Amino acid sequence: MWRFLSKPQSVESVMRDKGLAKLGDNLVNLCYSLAKSQVLGEATGEKVKDRVLARAIRATPVYKKLGRRTDAGMAADAYEAIIAYLWLTEKTNIEDMVTLVVDNLEITSETSRKKESEIASHAFQVLLESLIHLLPKKD
């Protein structure tokens, strides 16, 4: 369906794809907004900060494939690109991703921003860990 998606792609090329990262930014924001709305019982919208996603991907084995030291922006881009790629290739869907984030998002409306960031990082780490095996095997 998506003519802009070149394939086959290696994990490394996905992680460095700036276009996929931009799409993934929108997708991750939507998933987190849905998960947070579900947890709080009230519709809301959020932008997920780079450092939240950077912390998440750095805690997973796939991060070493970036191959060199990266700043939070590049690490977050890699996270977003992976999520976009797996969603666009129908390896996952929004409902499943939201459910997994919800299951690990123990926040309330009283939770501080700092604490929410830490909890969100962990939830995104668990999400990525659950998806890693779906990434292309080819390097």
Sites of contact with a copy of itself (CB under 8 A): 1-5, 17, 19-27, 29-30, 33-34, 37-38, 40-46, 84, 94-95
CB of 113 to a copy of itself, least distance (A): 16
CB of 17 to a copy of itself, least distance (A): 7
Select 18 or 115, whichever has its Cβ closest to a copy of itself: 18
If the CB atoms of residues 42 and 110 are measured against a copy of itself, the closer one turns out to be 42
Kindly tell me which of 4 and 112 has the beta carbon lying closer to a copy of itself.
Answer: 4
> At its nearest, how many Å lie between a copy of itself and the CB of residue 8?
16
Q: How far is residue 59's CA from residue 124's CA, in Å, rounded to a whole number? A: 10
